[in-house]
């Protein structure tokens, strides 16, 4: 069977023809024919051989973690899925440590020891292949009407987990008015970054009732800024507007959702977080030189303004389900904007250019069915 694999030792990325066909090995297993897999910065990092690891005993890793597939076979004990169901697979699989309380509770997104594996990233083959097998609990059913955009669900889980964490952390104070918990404009959110995680984050914050703004690098107008403004979120460029000016324009910043992966601008914005505000980091910066920072001022602010600064990675089954629900809402409200996030669909043979060439577009998708679906 065909698969797109990275060979870290040889520093090679190529399509292999002899990836073995997976079979059901437990009554809860489900066999899935892969339809589409999204490409992101993590894949590009793996293809620059900075990150990622093949499964034990292999010299290669099959890529792909942003998957969408169709069930073709179910084990005898599978109760939640049947053939022809559309599914999005979760990425992380739990560690084996009996003392890892999170993994034992099916919350490997909070694994204590880092010994989890991740499909298409760390020690477990991914989804850029014809068929995969997984336990039903790692497969999330997607309604058929989301078929053409469901490949966006995995990257949307970043924002969903951030939102879930924000609501949980902010229970530390009387944050919401119980009479009107979703009142528009009650809380103000600044999204840093205008990649797919930022764009869908802006949609998710808006749908959750936040007065939402995007602050990112490219000067407007540009295609991402236009897309963001098309669903009613103002786009502010840090090339033409300073952080101070942005903070003045926006007003009280209750939440910062960081999806830009750049320390410098993130910490400058943290400086403007309001009293009782929460700052959520989701980006992973490169190994850039250290930046200068007024640490004492930062510390004073965090204490005297009751601020929370948290990081979040990976997603639970619940946040996948939240993403499926919200993607449905986005499609009701802004179908054209959602479809425009998918900038291109490519055959697996084009992957080298997509993964090792210059980054272009917003979300590029590899179609595994031969003929790319109509967007």
**149 sits near Zn ion (criterion: CB under 5 A):** no
Name which of 61 and 247 has its Cβ closer to Zn ion: 61
Stretch that binds Zn ion, among 91-99, 129-137, 266-274, 276-284 (CB under 5 A): 91-99
Taking the complex as a whole, how short is the minimal distance between the CB of residue 228 and Zn ion, in angstroms?
20
How would you classify the pairing of strands 61-62 and 12-16? unpaired
Name which of 47 and 270 has its Cβ closer to Zn ion: 47
The answer to whether 312 touches 281, Cβ cutoff 8 Å, is yes
The answer to whether 280 touches 257, Cβ cutoff 8 Å, is yes
Name which of 13 and 278 has its Cβ closer to Zn ion: 13
* CA contacts within 13 A on the Cβ side of 371: 1
Name which of 66 and 254 has its Cβ closer to Zn ion: 66
CA distance 266 to 164: 21
Among 30, 32, 46, 100, binds Zn ion (CB under 5 A): 100
Taking the complex as a whole, how short is the minimal distance between the CB of residue 18 and Zn ion, in angstroms?
26
Stretch that binds Zn ion, among 104-112, 119-127, 142-150, 259-267 (CB under 5 A): 104-112
Among 37, 47, 95, 348, binds Zn ion (CB under 5 A): 95
**40 sits near Zn ion (criterion: CB under 5 A):** yes
Among 103, 150, 354, 365, binds Zn ion (CB under 5 A): 103
Who's near 266: CB < 8 A, 6+ residues apart? 192, 256, 258, 260, 281, 283
CA distance 207 to 182: 9
Among 4, 6, 28, 42, binds Zn ion (CB under 5 A): 42
Element (H, E) at 270: helix 263-270
Residue 176 has what DSSP assignment?
Answer: S
Please name which of 41, 52, 37, 322 lies closest in space to residue 198, comparing C-alpha atoms.
41
Stretch that binds Zn ion, among 49-57, 93-101, 236-244, 299-307 (CB under 5 A): 93-101
Taking the complex as a whole, how short is the minimal distance between the CB of residue 315 and Zn ion, in angstroms?
11
CA distance 93 to 91: 7
Taking the complex as a whole, how short is the minimal distance between the CB of residue 214 and Zn ion, in angstroms?
20
Residues that bind Zn ion (CB under 5 A): 40, 42, 66, 95, 100, 103, 111
């Amino acid at each position: 069977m065909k698969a797109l694999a990275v060979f870290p030792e040889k520093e090679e990325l190529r399509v292999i023809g002899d990836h073995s066909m997976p079979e059901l090995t437990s009554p809860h297993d489900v066999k899935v024919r892969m339809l589409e897999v999204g490409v992101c910065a993590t894949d590009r990092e793996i293809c620059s051989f900075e990150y990622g690891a093949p499964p034990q005993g292999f010299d290669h890793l099959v890529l792909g973690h942003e998957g969408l597939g169709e069930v073709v076979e179910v084990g005898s004990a599978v109760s939640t899925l049947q053939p022809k169901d559309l599914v999005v697979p979760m990425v992380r699989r739990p560690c084996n440590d009996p003392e890892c309380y999170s993994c034992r509770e099916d919350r490997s997104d909070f694994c204590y020891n880092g010994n989890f594996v991740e499909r298409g990233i760390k020690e477990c083959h991914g989804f850029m292949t014809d068929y995969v097998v997984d336990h039903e609990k790692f497969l999330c059913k997607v309604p058929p009407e989301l078929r053409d955009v469901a490949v966006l669900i995995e990257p949307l889980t970043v924002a969903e987990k951030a939102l879930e964490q924000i609501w949980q952390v902010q229970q530390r104070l009387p944050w919401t008015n119980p009479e009107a918990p979703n009142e528009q404009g009650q809380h103000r959110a600044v999204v840093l970054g205008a990649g797919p995680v930022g764009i869908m984050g802006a949609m998710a914050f808006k749908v959750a009732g936040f007065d939402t703004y995007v602050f990112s690098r490219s000067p407007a107008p540009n295609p991402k800024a236009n897309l963001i403004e098309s669903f009613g979120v103002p786009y502010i460029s840090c090339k033409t507007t300073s952080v101070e000016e942005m903070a003045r324009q926006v007003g009280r910043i209750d939440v910062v959702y960081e999806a830009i992966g750049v320390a410098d601008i993130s910490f400058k914005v943290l400086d403007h977080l309001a009293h009782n505000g929460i700052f959520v980091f989701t980006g992973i910066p490169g190994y850039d030189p250290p930046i200068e920072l007024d640490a004492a001022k930062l510390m004073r602010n965090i204490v005297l303004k009751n601020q929370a600064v948290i990081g979040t990675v990976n997603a639970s089954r619940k946040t996948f389900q939240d993403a499926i629900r919200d993607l449905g809402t986005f499609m009701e409200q802004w179908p054209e904007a959602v479809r425009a996030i998918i900038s291109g669909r490519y055959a697996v043979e084009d992957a080298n250019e997509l993964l090792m060439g210059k980054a272009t577009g917003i979300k590029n998708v590899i179609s595994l069915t031969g003929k790319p679906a109509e967007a």
